[in-house]
Amino acid sequence: MQYLRNTWYVAMWSQDLQPGQVVGRTYLNEPVVLYRGTDGVVAALADRCVHRFAPLSLGKVVEGCRIACGYHGLQFDASGACVKNPHGHQRIPPASSVRSYPVVERHSAIWIWMGDQAADPSVIPDFGMLDEGSGHEVSRRDWLRMDASHELIVDNLMDLSHTAFLHEGILGNAETVPSEITFESTPTSVKVGRNAPDVPIPGFFDLMYRRDGRRVNYWADIRWMVPACLINDTGVTDVGAPRSSGTGIYGMHFLTPETDTTCWYHFAAARQNPIAWGEPVDTEIREKIAELRRYAFEEQDQVMIRAQQQSILSADPAQKPVILENDIGVERYKRILQGLMRAERAPA
């Protein structure tokens, strides 16, 4: 599978890499070791020692900001240079460096650049609502390793009509299917909006709103940004009332390919307008929201998409899927991504 490489992917949540910790992951079919020095700075290197090709992720942090191979003790700094050979005359042979990947910590996540062009932090999408002090009530920063292509999960998110079927009663219902659809795109993003007035309130939103089961106006907007970062603005308000008087969530989704058929899925949510009706922030409700979201992703989306992946792998490659009107967002984001990948592979 081809990937866009000169771009930023979420490697992991910052909270999941503590000082002195070493983690091995694979991104875009490349083994990578991430570690945080005792000074708090994160580094990412190719997860393969130059000596006997042992994984550096089986090593440890030494000297504050180096990683030592757990097999024979060669040490590497954050640039990937071998800075210590503890054997013999301690000579460091030529070509003893490993590849270093640019990393940036932003919006409570560690972002990694897998390409060979100069990394530009200014193009990291804005997810400022995840930042401390943003004023948003953020739920648990969670993640899954999913046995499916990251594209299938992006497809799933870009066509939110599935919530009425796969997440019936939780995130949607039969009356949310015939929604008014809006669409907009830029050279690096696609947004699809769904608006369903005067419908039964889905259970997830009843939990956050008035908890009285009354009918509501329901909206679900999804925005994709290069390469696989999405934000889902979804919520409910009283029938005939503006969105600002209701509540909902900003659901943040970050998909990073591991291999062609597996991926890392990082997600979090920021609750919208939590005290619009005079109710204080409720920690128990926040945890219930996080649990429901994980249940929807792990027990519903993942089961379906994993089965879809196996079906695709066993299908005739010549067979193409039928395209429906609700696939407009899926088709447009794919077109943008394919164009960027073609430009990236073109001769200079």
Q: Which of 123, 143, 165 represents a domain boundary (last residue)? A: 123
Q: pTM of the predicted model, to two decimals?
A: 0.93
What is the sign of the dihedral through the CA atoms of 66, 68, 74 and 76? negative
Give yes or no: residues 43 and 144 share one domain: no
Q: Give the whole-angstrom CA distance, residue 330 versus residue 333.
A: 6
If asked whether residues 104 and 138 sit together in one domain, one would say no
Are residues 203 and 117 part of one domain?
A: no
Measured distance CA(345)–CA(298) in Å, rounded: 35
Instruction: Reply yes or no on whether the pLDDT at 5 is more than 50.
Output: yes
Q: Which of 81-85, 206-210, 318-322 has the lowest mean pLDDT?
A: 206-210
Residues 158 and 81 in one domain: no
Q: How, if at all, do strands 82-84 and 216-225 pair?
A: unpaired
In tens, the pLDDT along 18-57 reads 999 999 999 999 999 999 999 999 999 999 999 999 999 9
Task: Report CA-CA distances (Å) from 111 to 101, 138, 142, 278.
Answer: 10, 19, 16, 37
Residue the block writes with tokens 């994980």: 294
Place of tokens 């299917």: 177
Domain boundary residue, one of 123, 141, 176: 123
Structure tokens at 124: 């990291």
Half-sphere exposure of residue 123: CA atoms within 13 angstroms, side-chain side: 15
Same domain for 321 and 232: yes
Checking if the pLDDT of 171 tops 80, the result is: yes
**Residue 240: which region, alpha, beta or left (left: phi > 0; alpha: psi -120 to 50)?**
left
Residue 197's SS3 state is strand
Are 92 and 213 found together in one domain?
A: no
Say which amino acid occupies 105: E
How confident is the model at residue 195, as a pLDDT?
96
The per-residue pLDDT for range 287-313, each reduced to its tens digit, is: 777 788 889 989 999 999 999 999 999
Kindly state whether residue 214 falls inside one of the protein's structural domains: yes
The predicted structure's pLDDT at residue 211: 85
In a domain, 82, yes or no: yes
CA dist 64 and 91 (Å) reads 22
Residue 2 in any domain: the answer is no
Residue ranges making up the domain that contains 266: 132-345
Q: Is residue 187 part of a domain?
A: yes
| Residue range 192-227, pLDDT digits in tens | 999 999 999 999 899 888 889 999 999 999 999 999
Q: Are residues 72 and 172 in the same domain?
A: no
In a domain, 3, yes or no: no
Q: Give the chain's domain count.
A: 2
Residue 205 burial by Cβ neighbours in a 10 Å radius (0-12, 13-18, 19+): buried
Helix (H) or strand (E) holding 329: helix 328-345
The CATH number covering residue 40 comes to 2.102.10.10
Residue finishing a domain among 123, 154, 169:
123
Residues found in the chain: 348
User: Please, are residues 136 and 249 in contact by the beta-carbon 8 Å criterion?
Assistant: no
Q: Which is nearest to 68 in space by CA: 41, 86, 88, 93?
A: 86
Residue 277: per-residue pLDDT: 42
150 falls within a domain: yes
* Beta-carbon contacts of residue 7 (< 8 Å; ≥ 6 apart): 113, 114, 115, 123, 226, 227
- Please report whether residue 280 resides in a domain: yes
- Same domain membership, residue 281 and residue 158: yes
In a domain, 278, yes or no: yes
Residue 139's pLDDT band (cuts 50, 70, 90): confident
265 lies in the same domain as 339? yes
Asked whether residue 69 falls in the same domain as residue 214, the answer is: no
Which CATH number covers residue 262? Answer: 3.90.380.10
pLDDT value of position 276: 47
Mean pLDDT for 171-177 is 93
Higher pLDDT, 264 or 270: 264
* Same domain membership, residue 208 and residue 313: yes
Contact 181, 194 (CB under 8 A): yes
pLDDT at 281: 52
Q: DSSP letters of 12-36?
A: EEGGGS-TT-EEEEEETTEEEEEEE
The pLDDT assigned to 282 comes to 64
Q: Are residues 112 and 150 in the same domain?
A: no
Per-residue H/E/C for 184-225: EEECCEEEEEEEEEEECCCHHHHHHCCCCCCCEEEEEEEEEE
